[in-house]
Amino acid sequence: MRIDIISILPDIFESVLGSSMLGIAREKGAVEFHVHDLRDWAEDRHRTTDDYPFGGGHGMVMKPEPIFRAVRAVEAGSQQAPTVVLVCPQGRLLDQALVEDLAGRERLIIICGRYEGFDDRVRSLADVEVSIGDYVLTGGELPAMVIADAVTRLQPGVLASVEATRDESHSSGLLEYPQYTRPATFEGRSVPDVLLSGDHARIAAWRRREAIRRTAERRPDVLDRALLTDEERAFARALRDAAATRGQ
């Protein structure tokens, strides 16, 4: 997979895209990152990429021309049209389903905003507008890194095992079960006995129930979308009723 990022702050990406799992993914050839300085497509000698908003108001707005030129230049020569992602707080909320969708694309171009955001005509370039949450950041660079990280770890060969992602929070429609490592007892609190039993079937059953319990307690909205057996759904309903009674 290839990810192109267009930003007025290209220098801030390297420490994230070059480190840890993302750096390894790049070395393995599972992903290519290309970060472009939007100012390279500005027209004037000051390399201007923003201007005052028509109609007045505070702040500056990102000009359309450099962004259109940048996207067209980055797209050029690509056999298959890349998926253009515009990061903005008005976009579709990023969730694991959208991450999986984007991870399956051959090429992504991520456009990062700054200031008060984009001239609205820039939206016509986007295949998808993505928000990473209902809050406003100063720029699109962190959202671009979030997307790059989330899609990279799903590329084949990046994680040690596919199972590692299958059980994770939001992949199966459930939050992940509680995890423990050594020591078996820490400050008087012990790891559940079943995890020390070596009985893989019992461990799997315990993890499934705890994932349902955790999801029912923390994210009942997510549980509604999870694939559960009738028995599991009854268990989840009982947990939710108990939580509601406690809350009365």
Q: Which of 139, 173, 178, 220 binds ligand SAM (CB under 6 A)?
A: 139
- Exactly one of 76, 136, 160, 227 binds ligand SAM (CB under 6 A); that residue is 136
Q: Which residue is nearest to ligand SAM (CB)?
A: 113
Does residue number 60 form part of the binding site for ligand SAM (CB under 6 A)?
no
Choosing from 67, 85, 89, 152, the residue that interacts with ligand SAM (CB under 6 A) is 89
Helix axis angle, 141-152 to 20-28, nearest 10°: 60
> Of the ranges 12-20, 113-121, 155-163, 227-235, which one interacts with ligand SAM (CB under 6 A)?
113-121
Which one, 50 or 223, has the nearer CB to ligand SAM?
Answer: 50
* 216: number of Cβ within 10 Å: 23
Cα diameter, the chain:
69
Q: Beta strand 50-51 with 128-131: parallel, antiparallel or unpaired?
A: unpaired
Query: Least distance from C-beta 70 to ligand SAM, angstroms?
Result: 14
Q: Which of 137, 194, 195, 203 binds ligand SAM (CB under 6 A)?
A: 137
CA distance 2 to 166: 23
| Alpha-helical regions (H) of 76-162 | 96-103, 141-152
Burial of 109 (0-12, 13-18, 19+ CB in 10 A): buried
Q: Count the residues of the shown chain that bind ligand SAM, applying the rule CB under 6 A.
A: 20
Based on the shown chain and the rule CB under 6 A, indicate whether residue 82 belongs to the binding site for ligand SAM: no
Is 114 near ligand SAM (CB under 6 A)?
Answer: yes
Of 1, 3, 87, 98, the one binding ligand SAM (CB under 6 A) is 87
**Of residues 216, 106, 206, the one with CA closest to residue 151:** 106
Nearest to 72 by CA among 40, 49, 33: 40
Nearer to ligand SAM (CB atom), residue 83 or residue 165? 83
Structure tokens at 149: 């990280």
Tell the smallest beta-carbon distance from residue 9 to ligand SAM (Å).
11
Q: Please report, as ranges, the residues that interact with ligand SAM according to CB under 6 A.
A: 87-90, 112-114, 116-118, 131-133, 135-140, 143
